[in-house]
Structure 1
Amino acid sequence: MRDAEQTRQKILEISADEIHKHGFTATSLSAILQRCKVSKGALYHHFPNKMELGYAVFEEIYTPMFLALWQPAVEVDDPIAGLSEFFKLMSTESSCEEVVCGCPLNNLCQEMSAIDEGFRLRILNMQQQLNQLIAINLQRVSAQLRPDIDFSQVAYFIVASFHGSSSLSKSSQNKELFSKVINELCQYIANLRNG
């Protein structure tokens, strides 16, 4: 990897961390520059402004990370068991701080989708990709599931429930609430099976 590519990647990774900790609006370019140990010129060489940097973080860091997090859960032989195990691990293995800070992608979606069209369109695209990933894999095992399932609708409900549990635990500063909602979500997923 060339130096310029390494610098760009470092800026993206540190920016992603700053945005997760502080939100996009409150993230300071000077804090990013200080942590990256690069000049303002180097930053602007790669990203003409803060908004373009935010878009790149969303597209190149958050979206692939988020989709890669979900893929193993739904691409296993039994996506119902895979999703349940995924959520249970999130509930038990996530630290209280991680749960209370919220999902970085969900935080950014809530902050920026209503105020910037560029973010809104990127968020919509990511949501459609995730919905398709879940729906296709549930449909793959449709013979094992109830016949009345609308796979796209179920996929959106699963994701919405997960994001909702993250938002509730963040606003209440309560990991136990996250775990309770996740347990209900796992019961819902189990009930997708035939009989």
Structure 2
Amino acid sequence: MELFKTTGVLDEPILREVAKRGIPKSEKWAAIICFTGSFALSAARYPALAAVFFSVGLFLVLWQYVLFRWITVKRNLRDMQDFNGVMGYQYTTWFDENGLAVINQTNHGEGKFKYAYLKRIFETEHILALQTKRNQFVPIFKNELSLEELDELTVFLKSRNKKIKICRLKKQNNKGTTENEKEEVF
């Protein structure tokens, strides 16, 4: 039983999408709260504590916008080039009764993830990225699934793992335009 089977190439443009959308909103809010706390403590004349909050906020921003993006894009592309001499991997993914099956067609690697091992799904323009508990990302290519199938997939995954967080892009409105920056969170 192979449900929601897709095949596609994970390359630089898709890695850039993952780097852009892969940072959870909770981490973004943590940085904002640290900076706000820093200013509040500074105004309350607690400079040492304000410096600690500011440092933590600065670290979070550096992590989110520099290190995370560098790791996601540059390091993955470098590894693809060094290990296989390619600038993209072709993946085939599908779901069965036990979990998510992944085959890397480029280097013939295979993987299997149980539903309980998936912690988050976020949508980009071209893929649904399934994040595992070890912060690995598995691409589900949207070009092979209809909008109804994408909705069915998210409902299916939520039924298999109640703790999974799902962040989807807004659906198209009646005029045919898409609101890309807003999310639906289930």
Q: What TM-score, normalized to structure 2?
A: 0.29
Structure with the bigger RCO (C-alpha within 8 Å, sep 6+) is 1
Q: What TM-score, normalized to structure 1?
A: 0.28
**Greater strand fraction, Structure 1 or Structure 2:** 2
**Greater helix fraction, Structure 1 or Structure 2:** 1
